[in-house]
Amino acid sequence: MTQATVTAPSAAASARGTRSTSRATRHTRSLGGRGVHQRRSILLTIVMSVMVVYALFPLFWLFVSSTKTQSELLSSFGLWFSGDFSLFDNIAQTLSYGNGEFVRWFGNTLLYVVVGAGGATLLAALGGYGLAKFNFPGKKGVFAVVLGAVAIPGTALAVPTFLMFSQLGLTNTPWSIILPSLISPFGLYLIWTYALDAVPTEVLEAARMDGAGEMRTFFTISLRLLTPGIVTVLLFTVVATWNNYFLPLIMLSEPTWYPLTVGLNQWNAQSQTVGGDAIYNLVVTGSLLTIVPIIVAFLFLQKYWQSGLSAGSVKA
Amino acid sequence: MKIRSNKGLRRGAAALTGALALGLALSACSSAGGGAETGNADDIAKALDTETTLTVWAWAPAVEQIAKDFEKEHPKVTVNVVNAGTGNDQYVKLQNAIKAGSGAPDVAQIEYYALPQFALSDSLVDLKDFGFDSFADEYTDSTWNSVSLDGGVYALPQDSGPMALFYNKAVFDQYGIAVPTTWDEYVAAAKQLHAADPTKYITNDTGDAGFTTSMIWQAGGQPYKTENSTDVSIDLQDEGSKKFADTWNQLVEGDLVSPISSWSDEWYKGLADGSIATLTIGAWMPGNLESGVADAAGDWRVAPMPTWEPGVAASAENGGGGDAIMKQSKNKLAAAGFLQYMNEGEGTQTSIDAGGFPSTVADLNSDEFLNYESDYFGGQKINQVLVQSSKDVVKGWQYLPFQVYSNSIFNDTVGKAYSSKSDLNAGLEAWQKATADYGNEQGFTVKAGS
């Protein structure tokens, strides 16, 4: 048992070692042709710079815009600061507008993400591991179903799910968002392929030999080996749940249960109604506040994200 | 460990069964109807004196206040106002709730263009059941016509949108352009303005279904006809439709309209800085200008909508809507009481105060309303222009029983003509075809073309 746990990380480490060696080899090979490396890297730098600008430009606009008042927003040049710096004013207003409904929506989104995406990741880890490491009749059938489910976009299922949940009396409750979020066929598939490589069957056999139950093996050994894969799936599901728009739009009619996406859209739509308040400055500031947690999550989990992505490429 | 996990599983299964049973109980409840379906004023009064909770789906901000006032007058009734989405978002939810057989509110705000879809699909209560057809004379002809469908009355009008020409006088003065009274003059003004300053446009238009149908309405077109609920004909190449498309082609093909979508932040910006010089739009616009374009106070004025025949006044409705009682409601009498309070009784004034343009004749013709001088419009008595427009609305217009869907595909068809700056008539024909195909799929018998 002890021996097994000790070997496991070292096995993983050596696997990682091999992987980086092979990448280095490939890299060296590409440096081969005369001067090709130099030219290509300038081109790549330019392409990358364009991509960086492309990706950061909207964020820059968002930040600049959220420092303006509603009237400055409409009367000044969009891509530079103008007038008083009212970011903090805007934030205060965003948090208090409509009896603090933004805070409520923020809380709802957190709830859906923690329970929905967290649960989806846990289920994907359990299921993917099970499918990768145990043999049972009907496994091919399960494989077909999971692959088929990956191919169906969630939006296509929203209305049928609504009709079903309506029969169960679940619409207009947090469950109507959380339950569909718990299912992540893509996550399951990812963990499945990841577990095939990352959890050596020999380690499991050694653990069993030493008398560890399947649950214990999973939580003490396999889960640790699966961590990069799990974090990748977690990021995917967190982003998907955080950005989920269509499902809550269909399921919820009470603004008290709205997530940020639907709530902000409602604020935006206010400008189109008779007697409605145009509050673009709050919509913009609210959007800025909405993306902050996602940015933070990416920065902190970045390294797992990268290793998770390369996991697939190595296998291929 | 194994045992514990099994127990947890069993508990979860029990909870799931419980949820299923609850769901069944709820659906059983919903199929058993409650409350009387019809009644006179006495029955309504009795219902309002009974403990009741009403759910109202509305996005107009005034409804919140109206509900509070109503609760004060009828303390036994609780009114929950829910903003379930603006326009289309709410219709999707309403349609889903109708399909599911439960979850719809008692009362819902529905725009005129969307009303046939819900009325003709038998989802709304015919207000004749409560004798509300006797209110006909209290509303303008055009709004009452919009809620009277297939021999029934399916909503009480709340606001209305007779169209007018809102123009930025500062811009017109600066370039010495006369305010157009006909569409030919309007096209000439568009050319003159854009030639004088290429950053300025007579108006913005990237293709807007509501605007297009209103323009065809004013031009005398009657592209949509519905008989017996399911026999539909569409002709977007009738005389009025062609008249609009041919004139508007000159603006679109000549690059004379600003390529900015209405209701975007750029749009508000263009209205503020003068780069969008006019809007031909519903009479509810002043409130939106005042709150959204506060910086341009004093610049804007209102003139009658340009006409097709010189000197022959004509206008159309643009936007606006009423409120309807859903068939799913279990409190129809109390809902009728609230509806009457909101759109026929004291609520109308609250709507006007919140910036809504009324549909009630008495409010439109009151001296206070007609003589109101708007500071934003430089002291102009704007309601005189707007009220006159409500009297000049061309008669005989109908929307499709699937107008909500049809409008949602406008940008895929006519919108393409806008973006390629090509013939709008071709776009209208494509729109007609796609709309007819959808109608036939939905079980209507659609005849497309003349």
Q: Which one of B66, B82, B93 would you mutate to disrupt binding with A, by most A Cβ within 10 Å of its Cβ?
A: B93
Look at residue A88 and tell me if it is in a domain: yes
Find the CB nearest A275 among B60, B85, B102: B60
Q: Cβ separation of A167 and B23 shorter than 8 Å?
A: yes
| Cβ contact A166:A103 at 8 Å | no
Distance from CA of B310 to the nearest CA of A (A): 31
Look at residue A94 and tell me if it is in a domain: yes
Is the model's pLDDT at A262 over the cut of 80?
yes
State how far the Cα of B444 lies from the Cα of A168, in Å rounded to an integer. 32
Report the pLDDT averaged over residues B31-44: 66
B-chain residues within 8 Å CB-CB of A264?
Answer: none
Which pLDDT score is estimated for A37? 53
Which pLDDT score is estimated for B222? 96
Distance from CA of B20 to the nearest CA of A (A): 6
The ipTM, to two decimals, is: 0.78
Is the model's pLDDT at B411 over the cut of 60?
yes
Which pLDDT score is estimated for B67? 97
| Cβ contact B358:B160 at 8 Å | yes
pLDDT digits (tens, 9 = 90+) for B266-291: 899 999 999 999 999 999 999 889 98
User: H/E/C letters for each residue in chain A?
Assistant: CHHHHHHHHHHHHHHHHHHHHHHHHHHHHHCCCCCHHHHHHHHHHHHHHHHHHHHHHHHHHHHHHCCCCHHHHHHCCCCCCCCCCCHHHHHHHHHHHHHHHHHHHHHHHHHHHHHHHHHHHHHHHHHHHHHHHCCCCCHHHHHHHHHHHHHCCHHHHHHHHHHHHHHHCCCCCCHHHHHHHCCCHHHHHHHHHHHHHHCCHHHHHHHHHCCCCHHHHHHHHHHHHHHHHHHHHHHHHHHHHHHCCHHHHHHCCCHHHCCHHHHHHHHHHHHHCCCCCCCHHHHHHHHHHHHHHHHHHHHHHHHHHHHHHHHHHHHC
Which pLDDT score is estimated for A13? 40
Which pLDDT score is estimated for B9? 36
User: B299 in helix, strand or coil?
Assistant: coil
Of B323, B332, B334, the C-alpha closest to B129 is B332
Nearest CA in chain B to A74: B269
Give me the residues paired with residue B163 across strands. Answer: B282
Nearest CA in chain A to B159: A274
Nearest CA in chain B to A256: B82
Look at residue A54 and tell me if it is in a domain: no
Q: Containing domain of residue A93, as a range?
A: 2-32+66-315
Write down the CATH superfamily of domain B163-316+384-448.
Periplasmic binding protein-like II (3.40.190.10)
Q: Which one of A168, A253, A265 would you mutate to disrupt binding with B, by most B Cβ within 10 Å of its Cβ?
A: A253
Is the model's pLDDT at B30 over the cut of 70?
no
Residues in chain B: 450
Nearest CA in chain B to A78: B266
Which pLDDT score is estimated for B369? 95
Distances (CA, A) of B374 to A120, B296, B347, B369, B370: 57, 13, 23, 11, 11
Is the model's pLDDT at A38 over the cut of 60?
no
Report the pLDDT averaged over residues B92-98: 94
Distances (CA, A) of B258 to A207, B202, B267, B426: 71, 8, 9, 21
Domain count, chain A: 1
Distance from CA of A29 to the nearest CA of B (A): 49
Which pLDDT score is estimated for A308? 56
Which pLDDT score is estimated for B327? 96
Which pLDDT score is estimated for A15? 40
Q: Using 50, 70 and 90 to split pLDDT, how confident is the model at B14?
A: very low
Q: Cβ separation of B268 and A170 shorter than 8 Å?
A: no
Angle, vertex CA A248, rays to CA A142 and CA B31, nearest 5:
90
Which pLDDT score is estimated for B36? 54
| Cβ contact B173:B193 at 8 Å | no
- Average pLDDT in chain A: 83
Which pLDDT score is estimated for B32? 34
pLDDT digits (tens, 9 = 90+) for A97-130: 989 999 999 999 999 999 999 999 999 999 999 9
Report helix angle A185-198 to A280-315, nearest 10.
40
Look at residue A49 and tell me if it is in a domain: no
State how far the Cα of B252 lies from the Cα of B265, in Å rounded to an integer. 22
pLDDT digits (tens, 9 = 90+) for A126-185: 999 999 999 999 999 998 998 899 898 888 888 899 999 999 999 999 999 999 999 999
Q: Using 50, 70 and 90 to split pLDDT, how confident is the model at B219?
A: very high
Report the pLDDT averaged over residues A207-232: 90
Find the CB nearest A266 among B60, B83, B268: B83
* Of residues B441 and B16, more confidently modeled: B441
Report the pLDDT averaged over residues B163-188: 97
Chain A and chain B share a number of CB contacts under 8 A equal to: 116
Report the pLDDT averaged over residues B262-268: 88
Find the CB nearest B263 among A162, A271, A274: A271
Which pLDDT score is estimated for A306? 64
Give me the residues paired with residue B307 across strands. Answer: B182
Give me the residues paired with residue B302 across strands. Answer: B166
Q: Cβ separation of A275 and B62 shorter than 8 Å?
A: yes
Which pLDDT score is estimated for A79? 85
Is the model's pLDDT at B116 over the cut of 90?
yes
The CATH number fitting domain B35-160+320-364, selected from 3.40.630.10, 3.40.50.720, 3.40.190.10, 3.40.50.300: 3.40.190.10
Distance from CA of B450 to the nearest CA of A (A): 35
* Predicted structure pTM score: 0.83
Q: Using 50, 70 and 90 to split pLDDT, how confident is the model at B450?
A: confident
| Cβ contact B172:B302 at 8 Å | no
Which pLDDT score is estimated for B397? 96
Which tokens is A220 given? 């003490």
Report the pLDDT averaged over residues B408-420: 94
Give me the residues paired with residue B110 across strands. Answer: B322
% of chain A at pLDDT higher than 70: 84
Look at residue A48 and tell me if it is in a domain: no
| Cβ contact B56:B105 at 8 Å | yes
Q: What is the DSSP letter of B295?
A: G
Which pLDDT score is estimated for A270? 85
Q: Cβ separation of A171 and B23 shorter than 8 Å?
A: no
pLDDT digits (tens, 9 = 90+) for B347-366: 999 999 988 999 999 999 99
Report the pLDDT averaged over residues B101-112: 96
Q: What is the DSSP letter of B25?
A: H
Cβ atoms < 10 Å from Cβ of B344: 16
Q: Using 50, 70 and 90 to split pLDDT, how confident is the model at A277?
A: confident
Find the CB nearest B291 among A216, A253, A278: A278
Nearest CA in chain A to B357: A274
Residues 6+ apart with CB under 8 A from A102: A94, A95, A260, A263, A282, A286, A289
Is the model's pLDDT at B20 over the cut of 80?
no
Look at residue A41 and tell me if it is in a domain: no
Report the pLDDT averaged over residues A237-245: 93
Alpha helices, DSSP H, located in B371-423:
382-391, 403-408, 410-419
CATH of the domain at A306: 1.10.3720.10
Look at residue A17 and tell me if it is in a domain: yes
Is the model's pLDDT at A21 over the cut of 60?
no
Nearest CA in chain B to A75: B269
A-chain residues within 8 Å CB-CB of B59?
Answer: 269, 273, 276
Nearest CA in chain A to B275: A75
Q: Cβ separation of A278 and B292 shorter than 8 Å?
A: yes
Q: Cβ separation of A269 and B5 shorter than 8 Å?
A: no
Look at residue A102 and tell me if it is in a domain: yes
Q: What are the two backbone dihedrals, phi and then psi, of residue B307, each rounded to the nearest 5 degrees?
A: -115, 170
Which pLDDT score is estimated for A310? 55
Is the model's pLDDT at A194 over the cut of 80?
yes
B-chain residues within 8 Å CB-CB of A274?
Answer: 60, 159, 284, 287-288, 354-357
B24 CA to centre of own chain: 37
* Of residues A33 and B218, more confidently modeled: B218
Q: Which amino acid is at B30?
A: S
Of A223, A234, A229, the C-alpha closest to A298 is A234
Is the model's pLDDT at B73 over the cut of 60?
yes
Domain with CATH 3.40.190.10 in chain B: 35-160+320-364, 163-316+384-448
Distances (CA, A) of B43 to A17, B37, B74, B107, B195: 83, 10, 15, 18, 65
